[in-house]
Structure 1
Amino acid sequence: MTITENTRGTERSGGLFGPVRRYPMGSFVVLALAMSWLAWVPYILSEQGLGLWAYRFPELLGSSQLLGVLPGAYLGPIGAALFVTAVADGRPGLRRWLGRMWRWRVRWHWYAITLLGVPAAMLATGFAYSGGQVNAPSLMAIAVYVPALVMQMLTTGLAEEPGWRDFALPRLQRRFGPLLGTMILGPVWALWHAPLFLTEWGGWPDATWVRPVGFVIFCLAFNVVMTWVFNRTGESLPLAMMAHVSVNNFASVLWSEMFPSLDADNAMAAMASGALIAAVAIMVGTRGRLGYSPRTV
């Protein structure tokens, strides 16, 4: 290495953004949590949260979450990933990051797994927890299912997955391997949601301890499923997003109609159980590799 090259390396690791370049993963986690949590403070303090601020967020499509939760979600994972990638990896890193967002050319059966397999698994767990008490969904619910899925892709999927799976997962897998890397990411993903349990998103103030505990178990387990899908599809972010939002969409549109006897706690327990069974099956079936194939770039 020449003196000039060494000087340039020192300059890149110093300055205002030096810590971001030296610790991109840590910087991403801190920024993702901090930006989302700060943006959620008004929602948490509002009447849809702790009730310390006499204000109600307007409801769009029957929910206050679009205006209360989504802005902070967009600021957090995707915003942090964009910033840290630009600072730490420059244009080559941004091209890789953006390239994974457009990997739609994946074998058809992965579309079936994410779009049909996830709802089928949720049907099975709902059936088990409801004691077989299943109702047919209404025509309205069936009609809005696909449009709602598209909206979930553009909201929840786009806000979260460019950060968790596109930015964080490849780095963690390269450093720690697929299983340990996934086990590190899962708690971060769960922790990011934690303040929302002080709002109507998490059932505040009526929710019991079952819901947050069940949600953490779900995040840890379903994170394994997400890693497997991401790896086996050649790091396709759209397919990882579909796996994620298929859960949200089924739970939001069809769950309560098909399993009216399940309260929120039992519904969360059912989702956590299903995710745990799937995670164990994948870990055993792949011997902990989770479909990972090391890449050179």
Structure 2
Amino acid sequence: MSALAQLVRRHPISAFAVLACLFGWMAYGLAFAGIGSNPENMPLGPAMAAFVVTSCQGRKALFAWGRTLRRWVASPWLYLVAVGAPIVLHVLIVAMNHVFGAPLPTADQLGAWPEVPVTFLAMLVLVGLGEEAGWTAFAAPMLLRRHGLWGAFAVLAPLRILWHLPLMMTGDMPVVLGLLGNAGFQLIVLQMMRRRGGAWTHAAVWHATLNAFGGAFFFTMVTGADKDRLGLMLGLIYALAALLTLVPALLRRGTDDPDAAEHPTTVASSMSVPTPRG
């Protein structure tokens, strides 16, 4: 095994973070070199990074990650939450935006809704699977196993924000949405994984629904300050929703919470990692 592969094997999370950004930001590097224009983050970057890292961990770890990706049978009610919650949150911020002066969607704009399911399927493959196969199917189980909820959140929330930084710098993603939205979404995802029946696929479905109903639908109906305000509200409401996920645990403090057990199926349990360092 080469020295580089051994380094990746000893520090899987750190290697994953570096590779996810390297692959995810590749289009910006090419544009800087004069190849292409209007670059965006490559959503398959985190999945590609997870593939490289698990390959360095050995065949057993790679197959375990592959089995995790194929496992879509999970809690049905969490799938309902993953589809329904982002839709409700978007409808809520559209209504709130109207209170502050933004126009409500017109009948013609809402008439484009049949395109949303098609967009959802595309987002599920490119964004839901591309990103969450890395953040949630690979990194989150390992971090939850080693460090628990807050340790995993302390690593993954900043990493998500960092990965989206180019979008914030180019103005394609509002800064508040990039910071609070990503952090809030990460906490929600970790909480869903820790629920009984929770799985990485719930994060993939939520992420795809969020993008299909958000950036590709409701966000196209407003412009200028109204669109900026919508992005601000989305970031704030995700932060609030994330905080609300903590309420049940606070109410049950001092009692056993069988539903808050970590997800039993983890890639980390199948990996041979010599040291616990990131």
In the superposition, the TM-score normalised over structure 2's length comes to 0.81
Contact 1:228/1:292 (<8 A) preserved: no
Match of 2:144 in 1: 173
- 1:83 maps to 52
| Aligned counterpart in structure 2 of residue 246 of structure 1, from 181, 184, 209 | 209
Equivalent residue pairs, number: 257
Q: Distance in 2 between matches of 1:136 and 1:142?
A: 12
Which residue does the alignment assign to 1:28?
Answer: 16
Identify which of structures 1 and 2 has the higher relative contact order when contacts are C-alpha pairs closer than 8 Å and 6+ apart: 2
For 1:246 and 1:262, locate their aligned partners in 2 and report how far apart those are by CA, in whole Å: 24
Counterpart in the other structure of 1:144: 115
- Which digits, 9 at most, give the CA deviation of each residue in 1:242-281, with x for residues without a partner? 1112111111233146667962321111111110111111
> Is 1:116 matched with 2:84?
yes
Equivalent residue, structure 1, for 2:272: none
Q: Which structure: larger Rg?
A: 1
> Percent of pairs identical after alignment?
24
Query: 2-side partners of 1:223 and 1:263: how far apart?
Result: 26
Q: Aligned partners of 2:118 and 2:26: how far apart in 1?
A: 31
Asked if 1 retains the 8 angstrom alpha-carbon contact of 2:194 and 2:263, the reply is: no
> How big is the shift at 1:198?
4.1
**Aligned residue number for residue 18 of structure 1:** 6
Map 1:117-136; keep pairs closer than 5 Å.
117-131=85-99, 134-135=104-105
Secondary structure of the equivalent of 1:253? coil
- CA distances 1:59-111 after superposition (whole Å, capped 9, x unpaired): xxxxx6xxx436x332x2111101111212x2222232122222222233222
What is aligned with 1:278?
241
Decide whether aligned partners of structure 1 residues 257 and 20 sit closer, same or farther in structure 2, where only a CA change above 3 A counts.
closer
TM-score, scaled relative to structure 1: 0.76
Kept in 1, the 8 Å contact 2:75–2:198? The answer is no
C-alpha distance in 1 between matches for 2:116 and 2:5: 44
CA gap of 1:23–1:259, structure 2 versus 1, over 3 A, is same
Find 2:186's aligned residue among 218, 223, 228.
223
Displacement of 1:19: 0.9
Measure the CA separation in 2 of the matches of 1:120 and 1:131.
Answer: 17
2:73 to 102, 105, 124: 105
Name stretches of at least 5 consecutive residues in structure 2 with no aligned partner.
270-278
8 Å Cα contact 1:106/1:233 also seen in 2: no
